[in-house]
């Protein structure tokens, strides 16, 4: 599914994209349980959306990572569309930014370095 087609209060989302921003995680306490939450921005070819990262997810992704959200959900907060894995969804890191960068440098050759 493309990000541009996501509507508020939609469930069973399957989306892939690249993380373009990640905020510092902040602590929260809800119903006597402590945790942490961070906001990120997920982008694909159709647009971008705010992504809410809960607990271990807040440390799992970095800017430039390619991720997949499975069985996610969307909502609207203060007029802004947001996506999360919710209670039943999952987040998978498909490719870390540093792995892709090192992969590019080892497989690409500068034309200037080639002697004919």
**C-alpha to C-alpha distance for 114 and 101, rounded to whole angstroms:** 21
Distance CA 89, CA 112 (A): 47
Does the pLDDT of residue 60 top 70, yes or no?
yes
Q: What is the pTM of this model?
A: 0.81
pLDDT, tens digit (0-9, with 9 covering 90-100), for 27-47 = 999 888 899 999 999 999 999
What is the Cα–Cα distance from 64 to 56, expressed in whole angstroms? Answer: 18
Domain spanning 3-95 has what CATH number?
Answer: 2.40.50.140
Q: What is the pLDDT of residues 68-113, one digit of tens each?
A: 999 999 999 999 999 999 889 999 999 998 775 565 543 333 334 4
pLDDT of 79 reads 93
Q: Where are the domains of the chain?
A: 3-95
């Amino acid at each position: 599914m493309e990000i541009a087609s996501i509507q508020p209060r939609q469930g069973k989302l399957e989306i892939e994209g690249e993380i373009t921003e990640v905020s510092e995680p902040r602590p929260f306490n809800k119903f006597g349980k402590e945790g942490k939450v961070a906001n990120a921005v997920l982008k694909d070819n159709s647009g971008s959306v705010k992504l809410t990262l809960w607990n271990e997810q807040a440390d799992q992704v970095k800017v430039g990572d390619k991720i997949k959200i499975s069985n996610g959900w969307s909502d609207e907060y203060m007029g802004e569309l947001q996506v999360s894995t919710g209670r039943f969804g999952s987040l998978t890191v498909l490719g870390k930014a540093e792995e892709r960068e090192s992969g590019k440098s080892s497989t690409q050759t500068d034309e200037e370095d080639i002697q004919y």
